[in-house]
Structure formats: C-alpha cells, structure tokens
C-alpha cells in the first residue's frame, strides 16, 4: 500500500502543478513484489539456514554467488558438480589452510558443525543454493556506534559459533593444544590481548594450529574491513574481564 502511495504522489503533484480542473484518472499498475524465495524441500531449507548461521555467505557471497574476495570461489557450480562425499571432506577438513593473512582459506568445520548439519549444507549446495525465506542475514547496522556494529558482526561472521555467546568459549577442539576454542573474555584473555592492535591483529591474521581435525582461527584480513575489525574489537572489550 505504501508503495502505491509513493508511486502516485509525484503524479498528483504534477496534476496540481498544471492547474488542471479536469478529473484525471491515473491507473498505476504496481508490480507485485516478486516472491523472494523458491519453494524448496525441508532439508535444502535447513541447509540454507545452516549456510547463513555459519557465515558461509560472508566469504562465499549471498547464495554462494562469490564476489567477496578473489581468493574465495563461488559455490554455484561446484555445489552441483561435486559428489556429496567430496563436499563433506571440503567442509569437514577445510581447504588451502595457509598462514598468509591476506589470503582467506576455507576453515575446518568438522569439530564445529554436526554430520547432520553438513548433510543439510550439501543438500543446499547440490540444489544450487536457492534463496530460502528467512535464511538471508539482514544488513549490519553501522549508525549506532562501533559496539552495536561489533555485536552484530560477531553473529554475522559466525564468531559466535566458535567462541560462544558473549565470548565465553568452550567449543571443543580436542586435537589442539588447548583442547577447546579459546574464550574471548576473562582475565587471561585480556592479559594476553591488552591492546586493540593485538586483538585486531589476531582477527585479521588468524592462526594455523595444524591440519584438520584441528580447528584454527580463520584469517579475516581479506574479508573484514579495518573499521569492521575495530567494531569487533570494541565489542569484545565490553565482555567480562575477570
């Protein structure tokens, strides 16, 4: 309804400006907004939501269309071309894990994402990554200060899946030296990461602890901008220290 009014308003003004006394009937055909989604089966829908939750789109683009970083491939073709077994290996074990901070790699997800969730992701990839209702992340707000932006980035880029809500940590990483993915809060964390530069540095450059099944910290250097890194850091500094 508001769209229709908006479309009519300039016409009404035009008629008024011409000083016409005739009654002008204007028929405006407002195109129905195209349905944003395709009807898909439940497993494909589940996969689309999992794709959103684990921030796959933040590296591979919305619906896996690419365009975020030249180092991250689009997924439309491979999703259909590869066997489910190969896709599972890629997701569980990661690809191209490297220590070059400017070149993002495909993280190791096997410890973080369940078999069932990977099955759903594969169904979604093999269906060609269709748009699915509710599985697209809304834009991050940048007009309410860096902390609000950081809270949203923490969820949007999937930090929360590995570091827990409020940076509490506790996600198992059994083959790593620490056995868990570290918290981003608490006295030990803030003792080690006692400057913005140190926090930003580790988010940008990540770490390579070893090969799958060890989960390493992805590099976000080629993905997050400097101001997004600052926003995440501003948010992390609001978390419990002690």
**Residues in the site for ligand HEC, rule: CB under 6 A?**
54-56, 58-60, 71-73, 75, 78, 87, 90-91, 95-96, 104-107, 109, 112, 121, 157-159, 161-163, 173, 181-182, 184, 189, 199, 202-203, 207, 209, 215-218, 220, 223, 232
Contact 67, 61 (CB under 8 A): yes
Minimum separation from the CB atom of position 119 to ligand HEC (A): 12
Closest separation in Å from C-beta 224 to ligand HEC = 6
Hey, is 214 helix, strand or coil? coil
Cβ proximity to ligand HEC: between 30 and 188 the closer is 188
Q: Which one, 20 or 238, has the nearer CB to ligand HEC?
A: 238
Q: Considering the complex, what minimum distance in angstroms separates the CB of residue 167 from ligand HEC?
A: 8
Instruction: Give residue number: closest CB to ligand HEC.
Output: 96
Q: Which two tokens stand for residue 131?
A: 């748009």
- At residue 206's C-alpha, the angle toward residues 205 and 207, to 5°, is 115
Residue 233 · residue 199 · CB < 8 Å: yes
Whichever of 15 and 240 has its CB closer to ligand HEC, that residue is 240
Q: Which residues of 19-43 are buried (b: 16+ CB within 10 A; e: fewer)?
A: eeeeeeeeeeeeeeeeeeeeebeeb
CB of 2: closest distance to ligand HEC in angstroms?
Answer: 36
Contact 44, 130 (CB under 8 A): yes
Residue 76 belongs to what H/E stretch? helix 76-81
- Specify the residue, 15 or 204, whose C-beta has the smaller distance to ligand HEC: 204
**CB closer to ligand HEC out of 15 and 68:** 68
């Amino acid at each position: 309804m508001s769209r229709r009014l908006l479309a009519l308003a300039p016409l009404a003004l035009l008629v008024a400006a011409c000083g016409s006394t005739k009654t002008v009937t204007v028929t405006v055909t407002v195109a129905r907004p195209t349905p944003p989604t395709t009807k898909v089966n439940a497993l494909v829908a589940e996969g689309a939501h999992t794709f959103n939750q684990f921030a796959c789109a933040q590296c591979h683009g919305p619906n896996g269309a690419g365009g975020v970083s030249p180092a991250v491939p689009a997924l439309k073709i491979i999703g259909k071309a590869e066997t489910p077994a190969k896709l599972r290996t890629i997701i569980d074990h990661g690809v191209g894990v490297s220590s070059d901070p400017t070149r993002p790699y495909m993280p190791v997800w096997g410890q973080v994402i369940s078999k069932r969730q990977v099955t759903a992701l594969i169904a979604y990839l093999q269906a060609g990554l269709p748009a699915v209702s509710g599985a697209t992340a809304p834009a991050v707000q940048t007009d309410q200060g860096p902390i609000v932006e950081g809270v949203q980035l923490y969820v949007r880029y999937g930090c929360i899946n590995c570091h827990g809500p409020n940076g509490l940590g506790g996600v198992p990483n059994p083959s790593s030296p620490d056995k868990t993915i570290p918290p981003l809060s608490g006295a030990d964390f803030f003792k080690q990461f006692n400057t913005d530069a140190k926090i930003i540095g580790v988010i940008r450059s990540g770490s390579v602890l070893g090969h799958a099944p060890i989960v390493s910290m992805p590099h976000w250097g080629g993905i997050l901008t400097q101001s997004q890194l600052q926003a995440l850091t501003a948010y992390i500094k609001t978390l419990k220290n002690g």
